[in-house]
């Protein structure tokens, strides 16, 4: 027997290791895709929550949770007063309906029937049943993490709630390992809150007539100091909260006589703001830890490449706009632009780690980028890391690395905020300010003058710009440009450039 137990332990370790590898690989191949899918589902759930809580503000909420294949969707359909019919299948009788409860779907295969959190409003009882994907999703990997995140979002969003634990009879037989594993998932709730609102429904029941006796046997095999032991003991002390949903005996219409007893067992207390931290398998937890550095790296790349370039384009656009506005009423001055660029540096370097994403989005909106880079799906990576941190109870984001990705942008803003500013007199005799020459799209433009040096070959300067120091000699009527290459101390004279008529 000892040899057999050792073999079982090694086998379970092997299964966990394989599951961990698979769980890591499933997302690493498509991090952005996973983030987009997850964000889409969380957005859809948020929309459902808002709709149901707004449409039925007085309705109670009962969240139905349990293992995959326990019969949660079938139970909700039964409680919704829908007619169930027993049919013969490959594995015996199963229940189905021609009158589904809204979007609640009953599954009959090895694939889970519920893949998204699905609500149903029972008008007569004024109750919203929330059908959750099952714990231990046979699809593993991505789906276990996804289900945990959605269930946590649901509990954290509902104002008041009851919890209906659904377990099929077969899970309570023998050592009841699957039932114990299910209850371990429920230690994610605060003990005092859960005890006030929990009930247990045994589905597919046909052999266990004395549920209390069976639960007592399970309790005897548990560590008396464990949270699971305390939960089983509480259920035993409140047997009115336990009900049975029997297995069909014959084909045809299913007997509805047990429905009132199940409804009565659900008559627990609604708990305000039931705090929840969904637990994950060791494989999924390790998967998240291994995946997080890659997500942080992709966020840093997103910032250094796309977000930084969008900021630079917006700033260059402000410069171009100021150039075009010269001659109009109250055009932007170089000093105003420089002050703006300096303020951008302060905002980028002052983003708080706890509110980084909102602060960054506000800054980008201020720059007028709300319709461009802000719509990029890679912003989902930020929220995915935040949710992962909540699931594991440990920080996974690296804001310092994100801030470092802005170094190039901050240096460019610093250069633009410190350019030389001169005052000139226009033809009307009014003073105005101009900044130093600013390079944009391989051309040098003069703020307020509209002058261009057109005889510089793009290919030549694209290679030389990094090492060029710019020297200017500005007068009111003519301008001469000299470009000095430090390595060779060579002066390239571009000649005189006449001012353009204003």
What percent of the chain is modeled with pLDDT above 90? 19
Cα 119 to Cα 268: distance, rounded to the nearest angstrom: 20
In this predicted structure, which of 82-91, 230-239, 360-369, 434-443 has the lowest mean pLDDT? 434-443
Beta pairing partners, 424: 432
Task: Give the pLDDT confidence score for residue 421 in this predicted structure.
Answer: 62
Cα 208 to Cα 169: distance, rounded to the nearest angstrom: 7
The predicted model gives 336-344 an average pLDDT of 89
| Structure confidence by residue, pLDDT tens digits, 20-79 | 344 445 455 567 777 777 778 888 888 899 999 899 999 999 999 988 888 898 999 888
The predicted model gives 212-222 an average pLDDT of 92
Mean pLDDT of the chain: 74
With b for 16 or more beta-carbon neighbours within 10 A and e for fewer, the 24-35 pattern comes to bebbeeebbebb
Cα 375 to Cα 8: distance, rounded to the nearest angstrom: 50
The predicted model gives 88-103 an average pLDDT of 78
The predicted model gives 149-156 an average pLDDT of 84
Task: Give the pLDDT confidence score for residue 424 in this predicted structure.
Answer: 47
pLDDT band for position 218 (50/70/90)? Answer: very high
Task: Give the pLDDT confidence score for residue 255 in this predicted structure.
Answer: 83
Whether residue 485 has pLDDT greater than 60: no
- Checking phi first, is residue 13 left (phi over 0); if not, alpha (psi -120 to 50) or beta? alpha
Residues near 477 by Cβ (< 8 Å), separated by ≥ 6?
499
Task: Give the pLDDT confidence score for residue 286 in this predicted structure.
Answer: 84
The predicted model gives 355-359 an average pLDDT of 88
Q: Choose between 424 and 409: higher pLDDT.
A: 409
Task: Give the pLDDT confidence score for residue 136 in this predicted structure.
Answer: 64
The predicted model gives 178-199 an average pLDDT of 82
Whether residue 11 has pLDDT greater than 60: no
Whether residue 304 has pLDDT greater than 50: yes
| Structure confidence by residue, pLDDT tens digits, 425-481 | 445 555 545 444 333 332 333 333 333 333 333 333 333 333 332 223 232 223 333
Strand blocks (E) in 71-186: 85-89, 92-96, 118-122, 127-131, 160-168
DSSP 439-477: EETTEEE-TTT--B---S-HHHHHHHGGG-EEEEEE-SS
Task: Give the pLDDT confidence score for residue 175 in this predicted structure.
Answer: 85
The predicted model gives 86-106 an average pLDDT of 78
Task: Give the pLDDT confidence score for residue 451 in this predicted structure.
Answer: 35
In this predicted structure, which of 8-17, 307-316, 330-339, 367-376 has the lowest mean pLDDT? 8-17
Cα 299 to Cα 319: distance, rounded to the nearest angstrom: 28
Q: Which domains does the chain have, with CATH numbers?
A: 56-280 (3.40.50.300), 286-436 (no CATH), 437-502 (no CATH)
Q: Choose between 426 and 129: higher pLDDT.
A: 129
Q: How far is CA 237 from the centre of its chain?
A: 40
Nearest partner of 284 among 161, 141, 381, judged by Cα: 141
Cα 422 to Cα 473: distance, rounded to the nearest angstrom: 11
Task: Give the pLDDT confidence score for residue 31 in this predicted structure.
Answer: 72
| Structure confidence by residue, pLDDT tens digits, 14-29 | 334 334 344 445 455 5
Task: Give the pLDDT confidence score for residue 372 in this predicted structure.
Answer: 78
Q: Choose between 327 and 58: higher pLDDT.
A: 58
Question: Scanning the structure block, which residue is given the tokens 């912003």?
Answer: 379
Give whole-number Cα distances, 290 to 32, 138, 148, 252, 332, in Å.
16, 22, 18, 51, 50
The predicted model gives 232-253 an average pLDDT of 89
The predicted model gives 140-149 an average pLDDT of 77
Residues near 155 by Cβ (< 8 Å), separated by ≥ 6?
63, 161, 274, 275, 276
Nearest partner of 298 among 143, 405, 394, judged by Cα: 405
Whether residue 4 has pLDDT greater than 90: no
Report pTM.
0.64
Task: Give the pLDDT confidence score for residue 28 in this predicted structure.
Answer: 55
């Amino acid at each position: 027997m000892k040899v057999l137990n050792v073999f079982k332990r090694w086998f379970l370790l092997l299964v966990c290791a394989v599951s961990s590898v698979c769980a890591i690989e499933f997302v690493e191949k498509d991090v952005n895709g996973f983030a987009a899918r997850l964000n889409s589902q969380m957005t859809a759930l948020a929309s459902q929550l808002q709709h149901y809580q707004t449409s039925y503000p007085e309705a109670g909420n009962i969240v139905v949770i349990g293992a995959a294949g326990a019969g949660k969707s079938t139970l909700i359909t039964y409680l919704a007063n829908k007619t169930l019919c027993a049919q013969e299948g490959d594995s015996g009788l199963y229940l189905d309906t021609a009158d589904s409860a809204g979007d609640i779907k009953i599954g009959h295969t090895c694939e889970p029937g519920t893949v998204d959190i699905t609500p149903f409003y029972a008008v007569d009882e004024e109750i919203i049943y929330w059908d959750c994907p099952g714990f231990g999703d046979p699809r593993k990997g991505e789906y276990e993490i996804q289900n945990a995140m959605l269930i946590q979002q649901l509990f954290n969003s509902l104002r008041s709630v009851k919890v209906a634990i659904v377990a099929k009879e077969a899970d309570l037989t023998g050592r009841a390992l699957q039932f114990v594993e299910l209850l371990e998932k429920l230690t994610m709730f605060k003990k005092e809150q859960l005890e006030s609102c929990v009930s247990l429904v045994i589905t597919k029941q046909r052999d266990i007539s004395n549920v209390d006796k069976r639960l007592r046997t399970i309790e005897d095999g548990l560590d008396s100091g464990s949270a699971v032991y305390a939960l089983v003991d509480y259920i035993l002390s409140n047997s009115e909260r336990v009900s049975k949903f029997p297995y069909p005996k014959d084909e045809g219409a299913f007997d509805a006589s047990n429905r009132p007893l199940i409804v009565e067992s659900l008559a627990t207390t609604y708990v305000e703001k039931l705090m929840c931290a969904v637990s994950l398998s060791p494989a999924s937890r390790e998967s998240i830890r291994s995946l997080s550095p890659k997500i942080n790296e992709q966020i840093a790349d997103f910032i250094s490449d796309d977000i930084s370039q969008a900021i630079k384009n917006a700033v260059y656009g402000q410069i171009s706009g100021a150039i075009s506005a010269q001659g109009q009423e109250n055009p932007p001055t170089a000093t105003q632009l420089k002050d703006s660029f300096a303020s951008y540096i302060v905002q980028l370097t002052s983003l708080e780690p706890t509110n980084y994403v909102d602060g960054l989005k506000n800054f980008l909106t201020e720059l007028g980028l709300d319709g461009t880079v802000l719509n990029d799906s890679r912003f989902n990576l930020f929220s995915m890391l935040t949710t992962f941190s909540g699931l594991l109870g440990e920080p996974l984001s690296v804001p310092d690395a994100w801030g470092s990705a802005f170094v190039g942008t901050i240096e460019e803003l610093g250069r633009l905020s410190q350019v030389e500013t001169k005052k000139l007199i226009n033809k009307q005799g009014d003073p105005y300010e101009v900044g130093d020459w600013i390079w944009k799209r391989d051309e040098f433009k003069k703020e307020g003058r509209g002058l261009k040096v057109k005889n510089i070959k793009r290919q030549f300067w694209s290679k030389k710009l990094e090492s060029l120091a710019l020297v200017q000699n500005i007068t009111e009527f003519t301008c001469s440009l000299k470009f000095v290459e430090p390595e060779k101390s060579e002066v390239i004279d571009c000649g005189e450039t006449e001012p353009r008529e204003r």
